[in-house]
């Protein structure tokens, strides 16, 4: 009896300390609602502990043993359930995407130019919606800049530097090759990419289906057919600062996006340059843009994460709070396996991004077959229309996603449990709503303007 009640007391103290810890973490993360809710639970547990001490021993023992039974059964109920294992379903070979059709390429077209006329003569289905969106002020345009001069100017300056880097993606290949095994090359490239600042890195074969068919943006001639026959894709991710993304859709998000795109561009350019000096062709791909390939599906193939309801890649450690970078090359490399950590099942239960999207661009329902893959497809035009209204790249969906929480012991424990148990996923969705709110408030910008 005494042993069991002692175990019950230890369990109660641990739960009390866990909520105290959660309260402290939430205060540090400026999550006032989570701090208030967990603080109240911690205070109730602390009061319960004090009351227990005052109770006569037999009653205290019974209560502690009952607590031990309840808490053990609850933990077992949550964790002993089937592991969420649904993965993306690929039902065919996707068709190559023409980069001229992506939203950013369409809005780079200058009204009245021959390219503009030729494009909308060929793709009339976009003309009405694009004309309507063009009436809105552009992202980072002067009408937005007036509202947030310092931060929008900072983002603009970051993107300007990115534009200058677009011509650095390729170069001459040294005629003498440094021959090493694929294993050695893979280890070396991944170490370099991490050393240069990436948080995650993986390798896959460069599936030609994910190479754009024609140039739509960047320094290469508009409309040029893309002939990229590299064998491998080195895909990496850099995480975005949570405190910047937490102010979504305000100006800090676009400052952080541009900063991490710059980081990814630097990593890709230096890595590709190093590989070329080792005697193998290599090309960096960067936002801004001179992508010759579609990065999210390659990141999925390279084992960096899964595509979620939000329409972009969710990584296990940072969720969608990342920017991706890419180097394609013929350097012999070993490829990684795709990962499944329960995103498809979690997204089916969650829907938080969809509920919080100010433009209703994220679907609530089931996945649909889209270009060879069963996935959620977002309404890109609706999303982009909102970007022009906000003057930023919004990122509200990235902020509210439970997977985006900071890389700390507490949040990593939740992500770990959610990848192993369906019931833990359900609990994580409910707990996220309870502690952070179904519609979380944006945080104040993390630095003065
Ligand atoms: S970025 Fe904003 S508008 Fe676009 S899908 Fe996400 S929440 Fe919606
Ligand atoms: S907010 Fe929820 S539904 Fe949306 S991507 Fe994140 S986990 Fe999936």
pLDDT exceeds 80 at position 1? no
Instruction: Give residue 139 CA to ligand 1 midpoint distance, Å.
Output: 14
Name, in order, each residue with C-beta under 8 angstroms of 230's C-beta and a sequence gap of 6 or more.
206, 281, 282, 283, 328, 329, 330
Percent of the chain with pLDDT over 90: 82
CB of 307 sitting under 6 A from ligand 2: no
Instruction: Give residue 404 CA to ligand 1 midpoint distance, Å.
Output: 15
pTM comes to 0.94
Question: Of 95, 108, 322, 111, which Cα lies nearest the Cα of 198?
Answer: 322
Ligand nearest to the CA of 353: 2
Check residue 228 and give its pLDDT.
95
Query: DSSP secondary structure string, 135-187?
Result: TSPPTT-HHHHTTSHHHHHHHHHHHHHHHHHGGGS--PPPSS-----HHHHHH
Ligand nearest to the CA of 249: 1
Taking only the tens place, the pLDDT of each residue in 106-116 is: 999 999 999 99
Ranking 23-27, 76-80, 187-191, 419-423 by mean pLDDT, the lowest is 76-80
Instruction: For ligand 1, pick from 257, 359, 364, 388 the residue to mutate: most ligand atoms within 8 Å of CB.
Output: 359
| Span 148-164, average pLDDT | 93
| Span 23-34, average pLDDT | 94
Measure the CA–CA gap between 215 and 195, rounded to whole angstroms. 31
Ligand nearest to the CA of 361: 1
Phi, psi of 435 (to 5 degrees): -85, -35
Check residue 215 and give its pLDDT.
96
Other C-beta atoms closer than 10 Å to the C-beta of 256 total 26
Measure the CA–CA gap between 191 and 46, rounded to whole angstroms. 47
Taking only the tens place, the pLDDT of each residue in 286-296 is: 998 899 999 99
- 338 or 373, which is more confident: 338
pLDDT exceeds 90 at position 201? yes
Exposed, middle or buried by CB within 10 Å (0-12, 13-18, 19+), for 412?
middle
């Amino acid at each position: 009896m005494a042993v069991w009640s002692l175990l019950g007391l230890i369990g109660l103290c641990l739960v009390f300390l866990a909520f105290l810890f959660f309260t402290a973490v939430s205060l540090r993360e400026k999550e006032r609602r989570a701090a208030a809710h967990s603080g109240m639970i911690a205070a109730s547990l602390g009061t319960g502990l004090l009351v227990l001490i005052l109770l006569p021993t037999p009653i205290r023992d019974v209560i502690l043993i009952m607590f031990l039974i309840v808490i053990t059964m609850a933990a077992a109920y949550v964790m002993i359930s089937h592991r969420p294992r649904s993965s993306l379903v690929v039902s065919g070979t996707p068709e190559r995407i023409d980069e001229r059709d992506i939203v950013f390429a369409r809005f780079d077209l200058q009204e009245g130019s021959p390219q503009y006329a030729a494009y909308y003569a060929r793709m009339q289905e976009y003309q009405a919606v694009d004309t309507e969106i063009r009436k809105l002020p552009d992202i980072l345009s002067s009408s937005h800049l007036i509202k947030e001069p310092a931060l929008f100017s900072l983002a603009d300056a970051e993107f300007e530097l990115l534009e200058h880097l677009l011509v650095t993606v390729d170069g001459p290949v040294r005629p003498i090759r440094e021959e090493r095994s694929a294993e050695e090359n893979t280890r070396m490239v991944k170490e370099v990419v991490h050393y240069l600042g990436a948080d995650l890195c993986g390798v896959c074969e460069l599936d030609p289906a994910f190479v754009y068919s024609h140039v739509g943006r960047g320094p290469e001639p508009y409309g040029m057919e893309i002939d990229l026959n590299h064998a491998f894709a080195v895909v990496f991710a850099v995480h975005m600062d949570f405190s910047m993304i937490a102010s979504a859709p305000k100006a800090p998000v676009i400052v952080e996006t541009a900063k991490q795109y710059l980081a990814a561009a630097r990593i890709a350019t230096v890595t590709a340059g190093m590989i070329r000096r080792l005697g193998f062709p290599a090309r960096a791909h960067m936002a801004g843009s001179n992508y010759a390939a579609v990065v999210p599906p390659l990141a999925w193939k390279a084992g960096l994460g899964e595509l979620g309801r939000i329409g972009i890649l969710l990584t296990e450690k940072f969720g969608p709070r990342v920017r991706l970078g890419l180097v394609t090359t013929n350097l012999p490399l070993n490829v990684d396996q795709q990962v499944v950590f329960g995103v498809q099942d979690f997204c089916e239960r969650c829907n938080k991004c969809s509920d919080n999207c100010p433009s209703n661009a994220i679907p609530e329902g089931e996945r649909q077959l889209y270009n060879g893959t069963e996935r959620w497809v977002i309404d890109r035009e609706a999303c982009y229309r909102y970007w022009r209204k906000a003057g930023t790249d919004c990122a509200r969906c990235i902020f509210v996603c439970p997977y985006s929480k900071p890389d700390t012991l507490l949040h990593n424990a939740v992500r770990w449990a959610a990848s192993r148990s369906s019931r833990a996923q359900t609990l994580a969705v409910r707990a996220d709503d309870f502690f952070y709110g179904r519609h979380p408030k944006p945080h104040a910008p993390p630095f003065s303007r």
